[in-house]
Structure 1
């Protein structure tokens, strides 16, 4: 038996995504979700997580480039370039992180079990330093951080994501005495041609104990907030996790849904 955290990203993005994630929590198929506290839909959907406290870990899905007021006009590649060229203001980055942590605590009336980042921006230079400082000051060693480091080859896209800051974030987390997932999976191209059940089977078979499988389940339907480029993939992922096949796969591979408390120290 190995403990694998299955974490749904983007809770609070809109109604369809939030409902889909809640269904997966209620079905006992995921054990964590990351929350987008700047979304206009977040206040409506935060109470449903409070009602389910104890069923999953709840964390902050740090958002710099979706609903954030400072996101306008800067693409994902623009954020990456600005951080590596040291063109982001460190003081402003600290304010952004702390404001989102404040919003999480205010809505859920608890501190986050972990922090990760929308499109993994939490691991970029300047942002990661601000995040490490805020987490250490506010929570000591009780809040974990997501690592994008994979212990084995899981595709070129996964390796590129890892190369953008996983090692440096782990070094910072180690210095601060924080927990991180030991392994990471869930990255793919969201293509309709992808066999999601086969991907999950491969990921679960190769993930180490204390690892994390990232997923993006959501219901069908329009969005009341922002365009959602991966809605079809979300629908396929939700359908898989709510299927009998998903439960059978977890059992056959000896996987127990894990929490941040199962993660080792960085």
Structure 2
């Protein structure tokens, strides 16, 4: 059971959690949902897909909320068109599904220069549309953790002073105790070891708890999952969510549609506000947890 700790993060009885919505830019309805939730103080981060055609206009709509949440890059290397030519990975102009990408990554069959070039293009597209570099980098379907990709991500972050990386590691005992999509959560967590090592070696800041993995089936009400995702506490916990308002663009782009609305309605509702109050939690940006990168590097 979660017990608020007086003064642990500088506020009596309060702890902080990064509530991060994925897939901003995927479709207008996703952006509308995320902006509303940031405005209500129910989210403190969102990850943006710069490969999507909606990104430039959705970036403009997000700018007024730029100081209310961390705005990061949701690196995309699956199921969409890359921003530049990738003859090795996307010879037809479309990136492969996740299973194929993973197979090639673990077989050492990804072209490091090609992947690094696409990472750079997606960072540049973020900066061009949003007017500043991303606050962090993560990956659509967690691709930023894969071999070859993770090295490109670490290199990109080294050029972004102050930016952090979203790690997907979570203690095994916490995943087992939570009991939600355990095989999937364990796999995602285990895949992140290499990226975590790179981040430590380079002094790249990162979260140290990752929750929010489930199967999107709705078999367990989302309102019953969120209390599990918020417990136990961690020093810098991050909870991933996928809210959205269904529209035709979303239906064309992604198989997860109706469950996004379920998440949206819960996160904006009174029950979630009551849960946060009962747990002594508030959504917070990463910089509220950690020292500047210069302090981590000892410079």
TM-score range, shorter chain: over 0.9
Structure 1 contact 33–56 (Cα < 8 Å) conserved: yes
Partner SS, residue 212 of structure 1: strand
Counterpart for residue 5 of structure 2: none
Q: 2:21 matched to which residue of 1?
A: 8
Q: 2:150 aligns with which of 100, 107, 128?
A: 128
Q: 1:84 to 1:216 in 2, by over 3 A?
A: same
Residue 146 of structure 1: aligned partner: 166
**Where does the alignment leave 5 or more consecutive residues of structure 1 unmatched?**
none
Distance 1:229 1:88 in 2: 26
Pairing partner for 1:163 from 179, 190, 196: 190
Distance 1:237 1:224, change over 3 A: closer
In the TM superposition, what are the counterparts of 1:183-198 in structure 2 within 5 Å?
A: 183-198=209-224
For the 8 Å contact 1:30–1:56, the answer to whether it is kept is yes
- Kindly state the Cα deviation for residue 184 of structure 1 after the two structures are TM-superposed: 0.5
The answer on whether the counterparts of 2:79 and 2:96 sit within 8 Å (CA) in structure 1 is no
Q: Counterparts of 2:104 and 2:155 in 1: how far apart (Å)?
A: 20
Tell me by how many angstroms 1:144 deviates.
0.3
Match 2:273 to one of 211, 235, 247: 247
Q: 1:216 Cα deviation (Å)?
A: 0.2
Shift of 1:49: 1.3
Give 1:177 shift: 0.5
The 8 Å contact of residues 114 and 260 in structure 1, kept in 2 or not, is answered as: no
| Match status 1:51 vs 2:64 | yes
Name the counterpart of 1:35.
48
Q: TM-score, normalised by structure 1?
A: 0.94
- Please list the CA deviations of residues 9-53 of structure 1 after superposition, one character each: whole Å capped at 9, or x if unmatched: 000001111111111111110000000011001111101111112
Following the alignment from structure 1 to structure 2, what is the Cα–Cα distance between the partners of residues 251 and 224? 33
Q: Is the 8 A contact 1:184 1:207 kept in 2?
A: no
State the aligned residue count: 263
User: CA offset at residue 226 of structure 1?
Assistant: 3.5
Equivalent residue for 1:24, pick from 15, 20, 37: 37
Q: CA deviation at 1:192?
A: 2.2
Supply the distance in 2 between the matched residues of 1:243 and 1:214 (Cα, whole angstroms). 18
**Contact 2:77-2:95 within 8 A present in 1 as well:** no
> Which structure would you say has the larger Rg?
2
Moved more, 115-124 or 104-113: 104-113
Q: Deviations over 1:115-135 (max 9, x none)?
A: 000000001000000110121
Distance 1:263 1:97 in 2: 27
CA RMSD of superposed structures (Å): 1.7
- Unaligned runs of 5+ residues in structure 2 are 1-13, 83-89, 291-295
Question: Which of the numbers 96, 103, 110 marks the counterpart of 1:88?
Answer: 110
1:263 offset after TM fit, Å? 4.7
Deviation string, structure 1 residues 120-163 (Cα, Å, up to 9, x no partner): 00010000001101210x213x1100111012214221111122
d(CA) in 1 for partners of 2:198 and 2:235? 22
1:238 matched residue in structure 2: 264
Q: Which has the higher contact order (CA 8 A, sep 6+)?
A: 1
2:78·2:95 contact (CA, 8 Å) conserved in 1? Answer: no
* Offset at residue 221 of structure 1 (A): 2.5
Q: Secondary structure at the match of 1:181?
A: coil
